[in-house]
Amino acid sequence: MGKSDTMWKIKGIAASAGIAIGTIVHMQEAVHDFCRLVDASQAPAEKERFYTAQQAAEKELEILQERTAINMGEQQAEVFAAHKLMVTDPSFVEVVLNHIDNHQASAEAAVEDAANEIAAMFAGLDSEYMQERAADIKDIGKRLVRILQGGTAEVNYTGVLAAQDLLPSDTAALDLNYVSGFITALGGKTSHSSILARAAGIPAVVGVGSALEKLNNGDNVIVDGHVGEVLVNPEEDILNDYRLRIKKEQERAALLASVGHLPSETLDGHHIELACNIGTPGDMEKVIAAGAEGVGLFRTEFLFLDKTSVPTEEEQVESYKAVLAAMPDKKIVIRTLDAGGDKQLPFIGGLPEANPALGLRAIRLCMVYQDVFKTQLRALLRASVAGNLHIMFPMIATVDELLSAKALLNEAAKELTQEGIPYKSDVAVGIMVEVPAAAAIADILAEEVDFFSIGTNDLVQYTMAADRMNEHVAYLSDYFQPPVVRLIGNVAKAAQKAGKWVGMCGEMAGDPLATPLLVGLGLTELSMNGRAVPVVKHRIRQLDIKQTQKWADDILSLRTASDIKKRLEEIALQFEI
Partner 1 sequence: MEFNLQIKNQAGLHARPAAMFAQKASSFKSNILIFKDGKNGNAKSIISIMGLGVKKGDTLLVKIDGPDAAEAGAALKKLVDDKFGEE
Catalytic residue annotation: 192, 505
User: Which distant-in-sequence residues (6+ apart) come within 8 Å of 129 by Cβ?
Assistant: none
Residue 96's nearest CA partner among 482, 547, 86, 28 is: 86
CB distance 458 to 537 below 8 Å: no
Q: Tell whether residue 521 is a contact of partner 1 (CB under 8 A).
A: no
Q: Of these, 15, 43, 118, 148, which contacts partner 1 (CB under 8 A)?
A: 118
| Min separation Cβ 208 and partner 1, Å | 29
Neighbours of 364 (CB within 10 A): 16
Q: Of these, 188, 282, 328, 422, which contacts partner 1 (CB under 8 A)?
A: 282
Looking at beta carbons only, is 118 or 183 nearer to partner 1? 118
Looking at beta carbons only, is 79 or 231 nearer to partner 1? 79
| Min separation Cβ 128 and partner 1, Å | 11
CA atoms within 13 A on the CB side of 476: 16
Residue 69's nearest CA partner among 60, 79, 84 is: 79
* 383, 384, 390, 392 alpha-carbon torsion, rounded to 10°: 40
Looking at beta carbons only, is 281 or 512 nearer to partner 1? 281
- What does the per-residue mask of binding to partner 1 show for 450-489, with x meaning CB under 8 A? ----------------------------------------
Q: Of these, 89, 101, 353, 411, which contacts partner 1 (CB under 8 A)?
A: 89
Residue 433, beta-bridge partner list: 454
CB distance 135 to 192 below 8 Å: yes
Residue 160 phi, psi dihedral angles, 5° rounding: -95, 115
Q: Point out which span in 151-159, 274-282, 380-388, 567-575 binds partner 1 (CB under 8 A).
A: 274-282
| Min separation Cβ 125 and partner 1, Å | 5
Neighbours of 128 (CB within 10 A): 9
- Alpha-helical (H) ranges within 104-235 are 107-124, 128-148, 168-173, 192-200
Q: Point out which span in 80-88, 176-184, 329-337, 502-510 binds partner 1 (CB under 8 A).
A: 80-88
Q: Of these, 50, 80, 92, 479, which contacts partner 1 (CB under 8 A)?
A: 92
Question: What is the rounded CA–CA span in Å between residue 337 and residue 70?
Answer: 40
Q: Tell whether residue 122 is a contact of partner 1 (CB under 8 A).
A: yes
Residue 174, beta-bridge partner list: 155
| Min separation Cβ 89 and partner 1, Å | 5
Window 296-355: residues binding partner 1 (CB under 8 A): 306, 308, 319
Count interface residues toward partner 1 (CB under 8 A): 23
**End-to-end alpha carbon distance in the chain:** 39
| Min separation Cβ 91 and partner 1, Å | 4
Q: Tell whether residue 90 is a contact of partner 1 (CB under 8 A).
A: yes
Q: Of these, 52, 55, 71, 91, which contacts partner 1 (CB under 8 A)?
A: 91
Q: Of these, 187, 207, 228, 281, which contacts partner 1 (CB under 8 A)?
A: 281
Question: What is the rounded CA–CA span in Å between residue 347 and residue 84?
Answer: 41
Window 124-153: residues binding partner 1 (CB under 8 A): 125, 127, 129-130, 133, 137
| Min separation Cβ 94 and partner 1, Å | 8
CA distances from 431 to 370, 423, 426, 508, 516 (A): 18, 21, 16, 18, 24
**Beta strands 451-454; 220-224: pairing state:** unpaired
Q: Tell whether residue 209 is a contact of partner 1 (CB under 8 A).
A: no
Q: Of these, 42, 280, 344, 496, which contacts partner 1 (CB under 8 A)?
A: 280
Question: What is the rounded CA–CA span in Å between residue 38 and residue 100?
Answer: 9
| Min separation Cβ 190 and partner 1, Å | 13
Q: At 328, which amino acid appears? A: P
Binding residues for partner 1 (CB under 8 A): 81-82, 85-86, 89-92, 118, 121-122, 125, 127, 129-130, 133, 137, 280-282, 306, 308, 319
